[in-house]
Structure 1
Amino acid sequence: MRSSSPPNLDQFLDQLAHEALPGDRLPTIRELMKRFGASQMLVQRAFQGLKDKGLIDSQVGRGTYFRGAGSRMPAAATVLGDTERAKASATGATASTSVKSVLLLRRSISIARGRVLVEGLQRRLADEGHRVLELSYTDPDHALTVLKGLPRFDACVVQSTFKAIPIALLAALRDKCDVLAVDGAALVGADVEAVGTEWGEPLAAAIALLVQQGHRRIAYASTSHPFLATQLGQRRFEYLQSTLPGVELQAITLGMLPHEDYTTRLVQQLLASAGSDGALPFTALVAWGIEDGALFQRLLAQAGIAVPAQLSVVLLGRTDLANEHADFFDVVGCSVADQVDALHHAITARWADAGTPYGVHLTPVVRRAGASVAPAAA
């Protein structure tokens, strides 16, 4: 019986603790147990080790979160934890018309894409000499409380990550900044810049790739939560169902989100769809929402599903995130770098011309080739 946490678990948590912003939540104990094959006691012991180092804290009603002791403070950027320092930074930033103050507000959640995007945008703005304040929030009420003590900013980028942004929060943000941008294709027809992906086009490209490889029975897995981007993808899927001759498209819907037990439930549904002989009713899968590609690959192998020999897999996601493609999966979607570029352009274009029309900015569709697709067996 092991008496200490697996080294890779300790290293993973230590790295998260030194990269996290104040208020970022830890991954759940259940998630870490599955990812590292550790018992609940060992994960809790690893948490206690972080707490002993002063890297995490717990509060009733708020849960366990990082204290942000290792938060980054790049040159010309401001990553602060108290209102007075934020006020001083933002006031100094507006002293010159060439230097802008930007608030990066993201929801505290263990999604790598959001963290990487905010870091990339922060570096981009800081390299141009702008003052940047990063803040994370647990829920809209928390965000509204934090905003009350902050000064005005020249721009704000808000990242809600699968949660609705209440009208009250949008109104408070509009009062606090001249330019408001949302990470995600969520708002249409508002005086807000929105940057994201419409998943219908990547879905169509992924299915076309599989059809070219001879696959005629293809499943598409996605969430049942009604987001604009995924709903547009679902509409494209239904259209393809009725217009692709000789191709059978099957839908798999999951009532959860990528940062929840999504990957495990998807593999369970794949197994449940198999016949009495263990054969799947499709030869290929297009999967949206896989956050941990290595975990998905391991769970498929444990379930006896050989990729790509038995099942070809294409992920809909970010082509430049190693945690998603795991150096194995074919990925069709967008890149975080393109999303950073699009958000940066939306903000700076409005700074240059306040009369620029508001709208949704869709990122280019790109593909990363992997080893998870093979020609369909005869």
Structure 2
Amino acid sequence: MNNTASDLEQYLDELANNARPGDRLPPIRDLMRRFGVSQMLVQRAFQGLKTKGLIDSQVGRGTYFRGDGELVPANTGPRLQANRSVLLLRRSISITRGRVLVEGLQRRFTADGHRVLEVSYTDPAHARTVLKGSPRFDACVVQSTYKTITIDLLAALRDKCDVLAVDGATLAGTDVEAVGMEWGEPLAKAIALLRQQGHGRIAYAATSSPVLATQMGRRRFEYLQTTLADTELHEITVPHLPDDNYEAALANLIKASLDASGRLPFTALVAWGVEDGAKFRQLLSDAGVGIPSALSVVLLGRTDLANEHANFFDTIGCSVADQIESLYQAINVRWADPSLPYGVRLIPVTSKVGQSIAAPPPATRSTVSRVSTTDSPT
């Protein structure tokens, strides 16, 4: 006879009634295989045992049986501990998104009655030095902003923090919560939007640095190159990160693409990494490239940050508000049940309509064959 979710619940109830205090629950994956149920059903069964007061969870100890076999009223079941301590570890850098996110997390955790400490660091060695003199924390959010989080820094953080979350989809397969964005879906949406406006020659600009999130975007771009036979896709690789004069470098690459008559080889641009939208627009204007008269532009960025979209650019990406909420929830869920599997949380894609898109000039609207090019500094 096939096992069912009710068989699982009965099995766990029997284990709880016969368990000694501190006995560990069977691993979730073992229960999934044994009863042929999903992870969600196993977690729901665990929650039922918690509501009955038969099991408990602690960071570092996992989920275990209380062992008394007695039910407790639902309203006295396990609750999140108040007055926890949270460390917000942020790399010292003038990126608006980072500041807005840290301030948002500080407000959320402080409103819950938790103690929050914000610490800025310049490099991993500096961060390790700061951590040596710090107390232990119940949770830590790390914001490295495009720079490597070294193994020794991760080890130091795990020694100091019960729950560790990283701002950005940079880590997977570790006991760290990662919350971030992959840029493949926004890129595909941006190209589709421009094609709807009649653009058949589109450029995609992103950093040449192998950041995981942008690598996902580049993989999607390569796929679109092989499938959009009626669209000519150009790739612009910028040898900078957004905190390193990125807008000027990208504007210079676009300017270098102008031919003798002042025309670009593409009529539309999808650009990742622009932190200062007003500056980027002015740089292109100074180069004789008007937006959207000469070039339609869609930014891949944060739809709720005015410094990026400058109240002008059409923007597809994500919101900092969703990033804050996802990090906040990831930590609270981990506090509530330390036995849950770790993973990467991808925040939802959002869009903001601007004034940076127009139909291409009539002379450029003809259908063309796909050609892939890579522009580089001259």
Partner of 1:172: 156
Partner SS, residue 235 of structure 2: strand
The CA distance in 2 between the partners of 1:369 and 1:314, in whole Å, is: 10
Matched letter for residue 186 of structure 1: T
Deviations 1:210-262 (A, max 9, x none): 01111000000000000111101000000001101210110000111111121
2:82/2:112 contact within 8 Å kept: no
Unpaired stretches in structure 2, ≥5 consecutive residues: 1-79, 363-378
Matches within 5 A, 1:189-200: 189-200=173-184
Matches within 5 A, 1:201-220: 201-220=185-204
Q: Aligned match of 2:348 in 352, 364, 368?
A: 364
Deviation at 1:97, TM superposition (A): 2.8
Matched letter for residue 111 of structure 1: I
Deviation at 1:100, TM superposition (A): 1.0
Q: Aligned match of 2:332 in 335, 343, 348?
A: 348
Partner of 2:83: 99
Deviation at 1:357, TM superposition (A): 1.0
Partner SS, residue 169 of structure 2: coil
Report the TM-score, using the length of structure 1 for normalisation.
0.74
Partner of 2:69: none
Deviation at 1:275, TM superposition (A): 1.0
Unpaired stretches in structure 1, ≥5 consecutive residues: 1-95
The CA distance in 2 between the partners of 1:138 and 1:117, in whole Å, is: 18
Matches within 5 A, 1:1-378: 97-378=81-362
Partner SS, residue 209 of structure 1: helix
The CA distance in 2 between the partners of 1:206 and 1:165, in whole Å, is: 31
* Residues paired across the two proteins, number: 283
- Compare CA radii of gyration and give the structure with the larger one: 2
Name the Cα RMSD after superposition: 0.9
Deviation at 1:300, TM superposition (A): 1.0
Matched letter for residue 315 of structure 1: L
Matched letter for residue 267 of structure 2: T
Pick 1 or 2: higher relative contact order, CA cutoff 8 A, min separation 6: 2
Report the TM-score, using the length of structure 2 for normalisation.
0.74
Deviation at 1:194, TM superposition (A): 0.3
Task: Give me the identity figure in percent.
Answer: 68
The CA distance in 2 between the partners of 1:128 and 1:224, in whole Å, is: 41
2:184/2:220 contact within 8 Å kept: yes
The CA distance in 2 between the partners of 1:361 and 1:99, in whole Å, is: 26
The CA distance in 1 between the partners of 2:318 and 2:182, in whole Å, is: 10
Runs of 4+ with >2 A deviation: none
Deviation at 1:98, TM superposition (A): 1.7
Deviation at 1:336, TM superposition (A): 0.1
The CA distance in 1 between the partners of 2:317 and 2:220, in whole Å, is: 15
